[in-house]
Amino acid sequence: MPDPTTPTIVDHDAWLEARLAHLADEKTFTRQRDELSRQRRQLPWTEVDATYRFETDEGTTTLAELFDGRGQLLMYHFMFGPGWEEGCPSCSFWADTYDGTQMHLAARDTTLVAVSLAPLDELNAYKARMGWTFPWYSSEGSTFNFDMGVSFTTDDIAAGKKYNFGTQAAFGEETPGISVFNRTDDGRVFLSYQTFSRGLDMLNSTYHHLDLTPKGRDEDGLGYSMEWLRRHDAYD
């Protein structure tokens, strides 16, 4: 792979030839991605019949009410445990785009919310600091986060309970994920999709903008992939 600091320099015709060859690969990938998305839409659903309660600024509410009258609910499981002074920086990185997409999702019958285990007042304080307005609810006092596979007790971790559909060890008591719920006309709620860990990558527009550049994400020499990352109010 060419070093981005010492690129291969060619004339425009040679550049165009290389670009068109890569475009063919991109088109193949796009078709593969379209097919994967089609298959995802065809996955079976499972009914959520437990009665979960969430704390909101308007009071206690149900999972069905989080849809806000729409048929689809995208829920980001934001890592923020009780007593934390601030939310997870990587979850904050993802959430920085959530305000701008709300009206577009709503136009397609979809509501986007975040849910965390921390008390609502702690979430609201951090939300105000970040300047966010998207809906963010607390599942405190409920088994919801644990049932969704994103929160773990210390006993769970000691016993080796796994994250990401049982494919990897839980790295802490709080972990990230996305759950997709659907509500039918008779008010029943179903879980249609979940993804965790690297599966969340496709939802981060900053990373995908960086992927277009010669340096890319430029994380290979770091202690861990997002070592460079700061909350948006903490950069110099």
190 occurs within a structural domain: yes
CATH of the domain at 178: 3.40.30.10
Pairing of strands 46-47, 189-196: antiparallel
Residue 20 located in a structural domain: no
Distance CA 144, CA 149 (A): 9
Residue 178 lies in a domain: yes
Q: How many domains does the chain have?
A: 1
Owning domain of residue 115 = 46-197
Indicate whether 58 belongs to any domain. Answer: yes
Whether 36 is in a domain gets the answer no
Q: Which pLDDT score, from 0 to 100, does residue 4 have?
A: 65
For Cα atoms 64, 122, 152, give the angle at the middle one, nearest 5 degrees: 65
- Chain position carrying tokens 């109010």: 233
Which residue shows structure tokens 């060859």? 21
Structural domain contains residue 233: no
Instruction: Express each pLDDT in 164-191 by its tens digit.
Output: 999 999 999 999 999 999 999 999 999 9
The answer to whether 63 touches 182, Cβ cutoff 8 Å, is no
Low-confidence ranges of the chain (pLDDT < 70): 1-5
> Per the structure block, which two tokens stand in for 183?
């509500």
